[in-house]
Amino acid sequence: MTILAVNAGSSSLKFSLHPLADGQVQPHVLSGNFQGLEPGGSPQMGWQQQSGGKHQGALDVPEGASSFAAALDALRTLLRELPDVPPFAAVAHRVVHGGGEFTASVRVDDDVLARLARYESLAPLHQPHNLEGIRRFRAAFPELPQIACFDTAFHATMPEVNYAFALPPEVTAQGVRRYGFHGLSYQYIMGELLARSARGAGRVLMAHLGNGASLCAAQAGQSVATTMGFSALDGLMMGTRAGALDPGVLLYLLEQGWTHDRLEALLYKQSGLLGVSGVSADMRRLRAAAALGSQDADRAIRLFTQRVVRQSGALAACLQGLDVLAFSGGIGENDAQLRQDVCEQLHWLGLHIDLERNRDPGRQACAIHTPDSRIEVWVVPTDEGRVAAREAAALLRDAPAAGG
């Protein structure tokens, strides 16, 4: 059997195909991404087999059809035409927000979908599109169980002192609290560290740095604190999100006549690396622009780095020390300069990295610290799809009935 793991966004559909062998979920044998699915976009499709087959090109969208529907048709055709693909057991969906209600993966039915829709306003960039993806896959693959796997679930172990806000009970009783996100990524990173390092069960700081960015402090393999909060806006500076922001700024802008929609666009789409630099949300483009003399791009990079350093110190304090630091995500895995700059500013913790190993850590989990470093430093390429597939396999094995 195989499990199809998918991540449906506003303009993209990522997928990976994971075989089951002896009850264990294996690395993907096929992965790909449909992009440009937004209205007026330029739909593209790309996929690659582990065995080497690769395709990249435009997605054909029939007249009158939606780009997402065309992507589903293309995906069905691709899966049907691939040789030696075993039958499917389930479709595993990444869902950003499960609130306090969904603290474990769940098989989706109409009731579950209705309950998950309550969290759309808490993650407007992700949740509506995650749920619409589930609806479309239910229609396209009605014979397959659809499993929702939550980015918030990994953080359900946080103690109250680390998730509660200093607000009156009539507010917190409505579910206003810190939830945390990137949980599927952190679950994978934690599993890799536990398997590869004797210190993995100790005090671990994980940095998922990409267009969305956060830190997670873990102990004994469980989340105890994280930088993201009630929504995916809090904490670190991100690609287009500002991160931690004085609420007084929002009150000021409201006094200036800003509307809810204008504030939402500012906070989710116009801030962060893009907003500061005026160039791009992509760290690679910012590095290139800074090298050519762009002071705004350089300022954005320095601010991003400083936020990572500052929040790392705060979470190290929550853990009362540090045994392991792990980098992941698109920036964390690929930007050697960022890793070097962060680690140099955390040297007071007794942290030292091997500069040569840091420049090229490879595609597998790799330790980049020097022998005399008091703290282990790892680069761990994440695999959220594999975690979602594992969650689906476990749920089908142990709790096949729908519910939450």
pLDDT tens, position by position, 185-240: 999 999 999 999 999 999 999 999 999 999 999 999 999 999 999 999 999 999 99
209-219 pLDDT, tens per residue?
A: 999 999 999 99
pLDDT for res 181: 95
Pairing mode, strands 13-21 and 24-25: antiparallel
Q: Is residue 394 part of a domain?
A: no
Angle between helices 127-140 and 67-81 (to 10 degrees): 50
Residue (of 191, 161, 188) closest to 177 by Cα position: 161
For residue 44, being part of any structural domain is answered with yes
Q: What 3-state class would DSSP assign to 276? A: helix
Dist CA 20 CA 261 (whole Å)? 45
Domain boundary among 178, 209, 234: 178
Residue 183: inside a domain, yes or no?
no
DSSP structural state of residue 390: H
Predicted pLDDT of residue 398: 77
How does DSSP assign 363-389, residue by residue?
SS-EE-B-TT-SSEEEE----HHHHHH
Q: Which of 116, 143, 178 is the last residue of a domain?
A: 178
Q: Which residue is listed with tokens 């065995």?
A: 51
Backbone angles phi, psi at 45, to 5 degrees: -135, 145
User: 134 and 219 share a domain?
Assistant: no
Q: Rounded to 5 degrees, what are φ and ψ at 394? A: -65, -40
Nearest of 132, 98, 130, 103 to residue 115 by alpha carbon: 98
Asked, for residue 190, whether it belongs to a domain, the answer is no
CB 280 within 8 A of CB 214: no
Residues 96 and 23 both lie in one domain: yes
**pLDDT given at position 112:** 96
Q: Are the C-beta atoms of residues 236 and 260 closer than 8 Å to each other?
A: no
- Give the pLDDT of residue 402: 42
This prediction has a pTM of 0.93
Task: Give the integer Cα–Cα distance in Å for 315 and 318.
Answer: 5
- Say yes or no: 349 and 249 in one domain: yes
**Cα dist. 12→43, 70, 266, 325, 357 in Å?**
9, 12, 22, 31, 34
Q: Which of 178, 212, 228 is the last residue of a domain?
A: 178
CATH code where residue 349 lies: 3.30.420.40
Q: List, as residue ranges, the binding site.
A: 7, 14, 94, 208-212, 282-284, 330-334, 384
Q: What's residue 123's pLDDT?
A: 86
Tell me the HSE value of 133 on the side-chain side, using a 13 A CA sphere.
28
Residue tagged active-site, from 60, 109, 110, 151: 151
Contact present, 3 and 27 (Cβ < 8 Å): no
Residue 152 sits in the same domain as residue 299: no
For residues 397 and 404, give the distance between their C-alpha atoms in angstroms, rounded to a whole number. Answer: 16
In a domain, residue 391? The reply is no
User: How many independent structural domains does the chain possess?
Assistant: 2
**Residues placed in the known binding site for substrate:** 94
Q: Active-site residue 341, yes or no?
A: no
Could you tell me if 160 and 113 lie in one domain?
yes
Residue 192 in domain: no
User: Would you list which residues are annotated within the binding site for Mg(2+)?
Assistant: 7, 384
CA-to-CA dists, residue 306 to 37, 208, 289, 303, 312, angstroms: 35, 15, 19, 5, 10
Same domain, 160 and 228: no
Predicted pLDDT at 400? 45
C-alpha distances in Å from residue 301, one per residue of 272, 282, 298, 334: 10, 10, 5, 15
Q: 157 with 65, same domain? A: yes
Same-domain check for residues 132 and 61? yes
Evaluate whether residue 214 is within a structural domain: yes
User: What is the C-alpha to C-alpha distance for residues 262 and 97, in angstroms, rounded to an integer?
Assistant: 23
Same domain, 144 and 246: no
Query: What pLDDT, on a 0 to 100 scale, did the predictor assign at position 116?
Result: 95
Q: Using CA atoms, how far apart are residues 213 and 29, in angstroms rounded to an integer?
A: 27
Below-50 pLDDT ranges, the chain: 400-404
Between CA 321 and CA 376 the distance in angstroms is 12
Please indicate, yes or no, whether residues 161 and 287 belong to a single structural domain of this protein: no
Give backbone dihedrals phi and psi of 75, rounded to 5 degrees, phi first: -65, -45
14 occurs within a structural domain: yes
- Interhelix angle for 183-196 vs 384-398, to 10°? 90
**Are residues 270 and 366 both part of a single domain?**
yes
Q: What is the pLDDT of residue 50?
A: 83
- Do residues 165 and 226 both lie within one domain? no
Range of the domain at 24: 2-178
Q: Look at residue 138 and give its three-state secondary structure.
A: helix
Instruction: Decide: 288 and 337 in contact? Cβ < 8 Å.
Output: no
